[in-house]
A and B are shown apart, each in its own frame.
Chain A
Amino acid sequence: MALLRTAFAALIRALAGIAAVLFAAAGAMLTYEVVARYFFTAPTIWAAELSQLCLIWGTLLAMAWALDARRHIAVDAVAGLLPDGLRRITEAAAMLAVAAFSAVVAWHGYAIFATSFARGRTTGSMLDLPAWLTELAVPLGFGLLGVQALIEIGRALSGDYPRPREGGAE
């Protein structure tokens, strides 16, 4: 069990690294697009679509790691005031809610993917990629997130919950 958890942690950490590379790659493709357009008057047909694919896959694959690393944004002001016992329970309940949400989204996301896959639906854009290529990221990402949320329930109950303010956005 401990081995499985270590392996899972390594997996989501690796996926987060891949996400970072995908975002940087999106930057490279779009820069190439602008340079090709202005200097060689040869705009690409692939840069916009492939960079979008990087954004979709990167974000969804890194979600589970962000939960593990406590990088999702949450409102700490009130929860931080609770005594330890109560704090463990609310945190576990919060993670149970995340797990339930992930399970439902993963389930319906899989249905969308499976339909597209079976019918061979495509995006109808320049590259006309198969639609399932993006849709697959939803069940995978939310599936991983659900597993991580279940792990977080155990962490919360044992007293390992996020301390005030560890990450943030803009």
Chain B
Amino acid sequence: MSVVWILGALFALLLARVPVAFALGGLGLALLLLGGFSPLMAPQAVLSTLDGFILLAVPLFLLMSNVLLKGGVGADLFAAVQAWVGHWPGGLAVATILSCGIFAAISGSSVATAATIATVAIPEMIDRGYDRRFVYGLLAAGGTLGILIPPSIPMIVYGFVTEESVIQLFLAGIGPGLALMSGFIVIAMIHARFFGGAEPVPAASWSERRRASARAAPSLALAALIIGGIYSGAFTPTEAAAIGFAASLVVTGLWLRTLTWTGLREAAFDAMATTVAILLIIAGAKVFGKAITLYRIPQDISVLIGQTIETPLAFILVVSVVLLVMGLVFEALSMVLIMTPVLLPAAMGLGFDPIWFGIFMVVMVECALITPPVGLNLYVIQAVARARMGEVARGVWPFLALMLGTVALLYALPDLALYIPFKL
């Protein structure tokens, strides 16, 4: 029954606050030593992880997002979208979600998306009399579109550990991303209709619309360049990230002239810190993954699940509950890295497509990002809005329900994800 004590030891280390990367790597190394396997596998696993070309996309996408955030493109983007839809019922909320969706097509990070749009949207919405809790929930949840609409760092990580195509994962995220975005917009309009109270925004004139759109055009062009380039095969996701970074420097530094040297330094330093944290967890997970495979843990769990869970529906329900509960206390990406190697063999045994399963995991990660007490997007909104955690956390419930609804829809209609990569 080595499954029980290995997972027990892992959770004990994690809860004692050993950094996730070193808890995974350290336990993996201990298992290698105990099992009489060569400990040289540990440094080799670290090297082979960092030698992955696809993972170079992580710092580069982060650099691009951070440069755009520091260059203040969020304000231009929001102003442009607002000029078009601001006068609709719940117009500012709709504009917020659309802005999150567009920025998500540039950025691979939910934190960067939430931070970029929240900085401009929150003050504006609150000034116009929107309910605070609703605003915070909307931004925390809208930010998670950043990792479902390509590019997406969690998808890069999932693709790397499962050796699936990152491009197919990206394409599979588009359908569910648009579905979720539409759902958010519906919630925003229903909220405006029944809980109203927000001061309406007058429709913008055509000249205002033209001016605002022109200023946001570089961001839109950037999104088109990245998605178009990856989709057409003109460049790899890693190259797209590099070009996106270079283009973001041109847009904010030369065209809009909003990027300062200090801003650039902060952007680079912050991207570096986040990259190091993410890549080391992947390296740690690789050491751990090697060790548990030698102990045949994934196979044992797969057999166990095969014996107790008979239908794919029951499997997805159980896995969703487990991920939801883990997501309460776990940092989201670590959750993917710990659970994917354990669950994917069982999922494939039940007939799930590994790309579909990746998208399912990403939506569950989005839930983990906004469930208290530990949800990264909650912290972002709390910090940007200088709000109380409780207020932010209470605002996310309707959006969380919608995300779980998206999971159900994804289960009922797998083509929502798989149509674009495989059947188009």
- Which A residues form the contact surface with B (CB < 8 A)? 16-17, 19-21, 23-24, 26-31, 33-34, 38, 48, 51-52, 55-56, 58-60, 62-63, 66-67, 69, 71-79, 90-91, 93-94, 97-98, 100-102, 104-105, 108-109, 111-112, 134-135, 138, 142, 162, 165, 167-170
Contacts and interface: CB of A to CB of B under 8 A. Distances in A.
Nearest to B331: A73
B329 interface: yes
Contacts of B273: 16, 62, 66, 69, 71, 167
B59 A169 contact: no
B276 A71 contact: yes
B16 A93 contact: yes
Interface residues of B, number: 70
Contacts of B406: none
Interface string B229-271: 0000011001101110110000000000000000000001101
Contact of B376 (A24, A59, A135, A170): A170
Contact of B242 (A26, A52, A79, A90): A26
B22 A66 contact: no
Contacts of B44: 112
B41 to A, nearest CB: 9
16 contacts: A16-B272, A26-B60, A30-B239, A30-B242, A33-B239, A55-B59, A67-B19, A71-B276, A73-B277, A73-B281, A73-B334, A76-B17, A77-B328, A109-B46, A142-B43, A170-B333
A23 B272 contact: yes
Given A27-B246, A30-B56, A71-B274, 20 more contacts: A17-B269, A27-B241, A30-B241, A31-B243, A31-B246, A34-B242, A52-B56, A58-B59, A59-B279, A62-B272, A72-B277, A74-B14, A77-B374, A90-B17, A97-B26, A104-B42, A105-B42, A165-B374, A169-B376, A170-B147
B92 interface: no
A52 B279 contact: no
A80 to B, nearest CB: 9
A170 B332 contact: yes
A62 B276 contact: yes
Contacts of A104: 29, 39, 42
A82 B239 CA distance: 46
Contact of B19 (A23, A73, A111): A73
Interface in B327-376: 328-334, 365, 369, 373-374, 376
Interface stretch (B47-55, B72-80, B308-316, B391-399): B47-55
Contact of B268 (A23, A67, A111): A23
Interface in B7-31: 13-23, 25-26, 29
Nearest to A89: B16
B17 A79 contact: yes
A60 B241 CA distance: 21
B219 interface: no
Contacts of B99: none
Interface of chain A, helix or strand or loop or mixed? helix
Contacts of B369: 170
A84 B18 CA distance: 17
Contacts of A138: 43, 46-47
B407 interface: no
Nearest to B46: A138
Contacts of A60: 46, 50
A78 B59 CA distance: 30
A60 B234 CA distance: 31
A63 B284 CA distance: 13
B51 A56 contact: yes
B15 A168 contact: no
Nearest to B334: A73
Nearest to A102: B22
A108 B276 contact: no
B268 A31 contact: no
B246 A28 contact: yes
A62 B18 CA distance: 18
Nearest to B39: A108
A72 B46 contact: no
B242 A31 contact: yes
B50 A56 contact: yes
B63 interface: yes
A169 B274 contact: yes
B213 interface: no
Nearest to B55: A55
Contacts of A28: 242, 246
B293 to A, nearest CB: 19
B392 to A, nearest CB: 13
B243 to A, nearest CB: 6
B252 to A, nearest CB: 14
B15 A170 contact: no
A52 B63 CA distance: 16
A20 B63 CA distance: 10
B57 to A, nearest CB: 10
B154 interface: yes
A75 B330 contact: yes
Nearest to B248: A27
B329 A77 contact: yes
Nearest to A21: B268
B271 A170 contact: no
B21 A73 contact: yes
